[in-house]
């Protein structure tokens, strides 16, 4: 039994034919969707009023070079829609030398021949027996001496004044000693008082001091803590420790 009579040969051949036909069909469809080069060229020349010097296939579309008014541009055109995706100036137009028009005077000077130069009239010679009168020479003009104006003396410039130093900004917060003084004044004790501790606590209202005082007494309540506002100096609270 030969190989082409085997049952698996026909399905393989049919599959190859189907794949080849599908590939050819898809290629034909894709080629129909692409805008022809001659159509793209006419569209570019009509759009930019120039001449397309080069039109090739690129990765992103057609690559075209357009010459317009002496300048060279590079354009990228979509294969399927013919839309211009990018336009770049490659070379600017060279400036032309301006030719000045001839004026009427210059034109007439070219056409009219050179004017004849008139010769001075000859001075008649004296006749016999006559004496030639001498022509007096003009008197020389006096030479005017240049007037030299005295230059003003330079005025001494005032010495630059030193800028006053800015005054240091004063702090709005009380010092810890000021807080202690406020607490002692508020306590007004008749017995000796010792400062145990002073702490500063930050807050949104500007902060406050905690001043802890100890009284030299045998009473049970001999320690007190004052809460004093760090800006206004106001006593916010008083807490006695038994």
What b-and-e string marks burial along 38-63, b requiring 16 or more CB atoms within 10 Å of the CB? eebbebbbeebebebeebeeeeebbb
Looking at residue 235, what is its pLDDT?
Answer: 92
Helix, strand or coil for residue 143? coil
Looking at residue 117, what is its pLDDT?
Answer: 46
Q: What is the pLDDT along the chain (242 residues), one digit of tens a residue?
A: 555 556 666 667 777 777 776 676 666 555 556 788 888 888 888 888 889 998 898 888 889 999 988 889 888 988 888 888 888 888 888 776 444 555 555 555 555 554 444 554 444 544 444 444 444 555 666 666 667 677 777 777 777 777 777 665 556 678 999 999 999 999 888 888 899 999 999 887 778 999 999 888 877 668 899 999 988 889 999 998 76
Strand partners, 215: 193
Q: How far apart are CA 157 and CA 155, in angstroms?
A: 6
Identify which of 225, 230, 228 has the alpha carbon closest to the alpha carbon of residue 214.
225
Handedness of CA 206, 212, 213, 219 (dihedral sign): positive
Q: How far apart are CA 177 and CA 200, in angstroms?
A: 12
Long-range contacts of residues 180-187, Cβ cutoff 8 Å, at least 24 apart: 180/211, 182/211, 182/226, 182/228, 182/233, 182/235, 183/211, 183/213, 183/226, 183/228, 183/235, 184/213, 186/226, 186/235, 186/238, 187/213, 187/224, 187/226
Looking at residue 217, what is its pLDDT?
Answer: 80
Query: pTM surpassing 0.75?
Result: no
Sheet order of strands, 208-215 included: 193-201, 208-215, 223-229, 235-241
Q: How far apart are CA 132 and CA 126, in angstroms?
A: 6
């Amino acid at each position: 039994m030969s190989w082409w009579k085997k049952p698996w040969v026909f399905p393989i051949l049919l599959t190859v034919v189907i794949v080849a036909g599908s590939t050819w069909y898809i290629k034909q469809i894709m080629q129909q969707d692409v805008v022809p080069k001659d159509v793209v060229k006419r569209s570019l020349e009509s759009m930019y009023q120039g001449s397309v010097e080069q039109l090739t296939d690129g990765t992103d579309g057609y690559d075209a070079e357009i010459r317009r008014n002496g300048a060279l541009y590079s354009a990228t055109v979509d294969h399927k829609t013919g839309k211009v995706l990018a336009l770049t100036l490659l070379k600017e137009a060279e400036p032309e030398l301006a030719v000045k028009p001839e004026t009427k005077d210059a034109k007439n000077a070219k056409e009219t021949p050179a004017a004849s130069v008139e010769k001075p009239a000859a001075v008649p010679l004296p006749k016999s027996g006559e004496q030639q009168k001498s022509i007096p020479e003009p008197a020389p003009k006096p030479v005017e001496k240049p007037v030299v104006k005295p230059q003003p003396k330079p005025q001494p410039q005032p010495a630059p004044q030193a800028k006053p130093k800015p005054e240091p900004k004063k702090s709005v917060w009380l010092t810890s000693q000021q807080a202690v003084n406020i607490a002692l004044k508020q306590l007004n004790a008749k017995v000796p008082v010792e400062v145990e501790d002073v702490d500063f606590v930050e807050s949104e209202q500007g902060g406050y001091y905690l001043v802890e005082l100890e009284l030299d007494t045998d009473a049970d309540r001999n320690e007190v803590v004052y809460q004093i506002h760090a800006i206004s100096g106001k006593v916010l609270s008083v807490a006695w420790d038994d």
